[in-house]
Structure 1
């Protein structure tokens, strides 16, 4: 019985390209599967470390700061005072409970403001910031923004609003190497996040646009002005907003 001879592809370059495409598709499918699995897992379990924390750790190592620790402590939503929950919503994303990951009105207003204003304003929602901090890297690039959009939609689809806010408050940066409201409360006020009052919560929220430039322990006149504005917005929103969020 004669062996069947293998026929060579008339266009070997085309065959190699097909194999390469299959590998790319397979790699992408595996990546998506791992990502979706992690989103489902993090819907229930505490976040051990975020992509941005990892970025900071690597940055510290490359800079030779081997002894610089990351201050991070996960706490449950119920262990946070409602003042800090309300403060970040009042400061960062007042339509958080009603939008589906993107606040197009805020984005449009930010673009208009940035054309004329000296101080750059962002239009990112809490959902977008959670996606960025948890899975992506910091820095301005169209690639990151392009990945951020579907990542945000996945979080909005698979997580509740309460869970998104809980994760955001746990992984947001409040100062150099200080992540989450519990670590920030302990560091700046020597108390737990459960004991924060309105003024302290508003001050923490006031530095969130850029916690490297703005400081909780040495607030500038601008930060103090933001703090007062946030407190006024907190009183306007009221705890009824948080009750609506918990029910949604």
Structure 2
């Protein structure tokens, strides 16, 4: 009995040590990003594997550009569309998470009600992620959704906010976020959709790109749709109130 307890304690100790080592790895990786531009993200690598497997080739557009070479219009548009409180919050918008949780709970209740009629469909999961949280997820984590992964995302978010400036977080985000299949970063998106560099984007062009971010592959098929155009006008109207880091 004592031998079993001792073995369980050793296993538990190894698990704790593994968790601590993983957090230290993430911490060192994040710290290095203060002066080293990350070459790729976990999401990009998984996408590259998927595209290569499905198509047998890898069409890829991405080019890192410094913060100063990204149009201020795009910075304001993305913040206005994705995370209005980016410059003020500490990486997590608790109120947005609470509202998202409530919406998801209502969606789950509707699904439960439909199950009795045999017409149940999976609920649409609504997130409350900030730009920093999205960056944390894209940099290091898989796309699966569970409490353990969300907890890890939260810890990495705190690391990013503690070790990097808001300007650096936005710079890395804009250089690695997806804007279509195999299209990553502001420079590639500007050239793909408008045939210009990221520094030349107008307010309306920037707003259109920002509107695409929640579902870039879907909007890539119809970049000039009525929804994208109408939503872009709304984003343009909000950009003047955005505070840049």
Q: Same fold (TM over 0.5)?
A: yes
Is the 2:26–2:156 Cα contact (8 Å) retained in structure 1?
no
Partner of 1:59 in structure 2? 50
Partner of 2:96 in structure 1? 106
Partner of 1:123 in structure 2? 128
Partner of 1:82 in structure 2? 72
Match of 1:172 among 167, 177, 186: 177
CA distance in 2, matches of 1:126, 1:95: 10
Aligned CA distance change for structure 1 residues 31 and 110 (closer, same or farther; 3 Å) = closer
CA distance in 2, matches of 1:121, 1:18: 40
Alignment of 1:33 with 2:24, yes or no, is: yes
CA distance in 2, matches of 1:220, 1:112: 31
CA distance in 2, matches of 1:108, 1:28: 28
Note the alpha carbon deviations across 1:101-125, whole angstroms, 9 max, x for none: 1112333444455648x98653211
User: Would you say how many aligned residue pairs link Structure 1 and Structure 2?
Assistant: 230
CA distance in 2, matches of 1:152, 1:161: 12
CA distance in 2, matches of 1:177, 1:82: 24
CA distance in 2, matches of 1:30, 1:119: 35
Structure 1 unaligned residues grouped into runs of 5+: 1-9
Partner of 2:81 in structure 1? 91
Note the alpha carbon deviations across 1:136-165, whole angstroms, 9 max, x for none: 122433332121111111111111111111
Alignment of 1:144 with 2:134, yes or no, is: no
Q: What TM-score does the superposition give when structure 1 sets the normalisation length?
A: 0.84
Structure 2 unaligned residues grouped into runs of 5+: 108-122
Match of 1:72 among 62, 67, 71: 62
Alignment of 1:49 with 2:54, yes or no, is: no
Aligned CA distance change for structure 1 residues 204 and 101 (closer, same or farther; 3 Å) = same
User: What is the root-mean-square deviation of aligned Cα atoms in Å?
Assistant: 2.3
Note the alpha carbon deviations across 1:172-227, whole angstroms, 9 max, x for none: 11111211101111111111101111111000000111112222763322221211
CA distance in 2, matches of 1:142, 1:12: 33
Identify which range, 162-171 or 98-107, moves more after superposition. 98-107
Q: What TM-score does the superposition give when structure 2 sets the normalisation length?
A: 0.85
Instruction: State the structure with bigger RCO (CA 8 A, min sep 6), 1 or 2.
Output: 2
Aligned to 2:216, the other structure's residue is in SS state coil
